Amino acid sequence: MRAYKAKDNVQAKAYYTDRFYKSPQVPKSPPESDEVFNSDLEAIKSKFEVLDSFIQVEQLVVFINPKDNYGVLELMRDELEYSQLSEMSAIDWVADRGGFEVFYQLLSMNKRKRIRIKMFIKDGDALNSVEKLFRSADWSEREMFDMFGIEALGHPFMKRILMPYDWSGHPLLKTYPLQGDEAASWYEVDKIYGKEAREEIGPENRDSSRVDRYDSDRFSRLGHEVPKGTKITGDEPEVVQPYQEEGGVFLVKKFHKDSTTIVDDPQR
């Protein structure tokens, strides 16, 4: 099992240390290259501030200010025929930029186009709920709150959706350890038996393939076999395990340097 390392600075640190490595980028094209997208973008620009826009993988990406999210989505739904919110969530950039990127993925069935509305919000800031516009945002916003801790203002039931209500922490944050924090590892014990039961039940043994090298009852040490139940001290004699038994079933022919020939001619 891999040892757990703190991932507080996982975003600030580059994954690749090769100084000549250039990470592949998805090519972007200007929004003017698509007629439908261009007119949609002009409609948004006429009413709201657009920070950035480009077409990527045949989808228009529009960056807006977070305070405009309800207005832009209302415009998209009512005037530009983007009738479906197929997905929305956030991307954790806390370590890098001190906040989250929230995206709304919209689909227009009439135009057969997809647009992604993106905005950047600071860590701790809340967002306007778009649940009134798109019913699918109801659960998506709850999930966003559950996983990232981003609250949606005006949501009718702003509670966790996947994790239990009394859970602590937001699991999709990059700083949240995959194997859970202290509260997570004792969650079910605390809840069912109470905190005083922690000692009796014991910590989670998360490595089911763990081999205890000092346990001769259940494990044998290959090459250093001892009888069952022997106390292991560390200086057990080595027992060589030949892979080819003398006179046994043939497995592998041993390589002898003397009986080989060196091929000089590559064209042989």
Partner 1 sequence: MAQHKVNYTQDGGLPVALTSIDKIVNWGRSNSLWALTYGLACCGIEMMASGASRYDFDRFGTIFRASPRQADVMIVAGTLTKKHAEFIKRLYDQMTEPRWVISMGSCANTGGMFNTYATVQGVDRVIPVDLYLPGCAPRPETLQYGVMLLQQKIRSKQASKAQKAKRLM
Under rule CB under 8 A, residue 193 binds partner 1: yes
Closest to 102 in 3D by CA, of 159, 150, 163: 150
The residue from 52, 200, 217, 258 that contacts partner 1 (CB under 8 A) is 200
Residue of the chain from 133, 161, 163, 226 that contacts partner 1 (CB under 8 A): 163
Is 197 among the residues that bind partner 1 (CB under 8 A)?
A: yes
Nearest to residue 150, comparing CAs of 181, 119, 177, 123? 123
Find where tokens 């240390």 sit. 17
Phi/psi at 144 (5° precision): -65, -40
For residue 112, is it left (φ>0), alpha (ψ between -120 and 50) or beta? left
Q: Applying CB under 8 A, which of residues 1, 6, 240, 262 lies at the interface with partner 1?
A: 1
In the numeric block, which tokens belong to residue 107? 């689909």
Query: Judged by CB under 8 A, which of 204, 212, 214, 230 binds partner 1?
Result: 204
Residue type at 27?
P
Q: How far is the CB of 163 from partner 1 (least distance, A)?
A: 7
Least distance (Å) from partner 1 to the CB of residue 191? 5
Helix (H, G, I), strand (E, B) or coil at 155: coil
Give the DSSP letter of residue 189: H
Which residue stretch of 128-136, 146-154, 171-179, 248-256 sits at the interface with partner 1 (rule: CB under 8 A)? 171-179
Q: Which of 49/188 has CB closer to partner 1?
A: 188
Residue 98: which region, alpha, beta or left (left: phi > 0; alpha: psi -120 to 50)? left
Contacting residue, 206, 214, 215, 251, with partner 1 by CB under 8 A? 206
Which positions touch partner 1 (CB under 8 A)?
1, 163-164, 171, 176-181, 184-185, 187-189, 191-193, 197, 200-201, 204-208
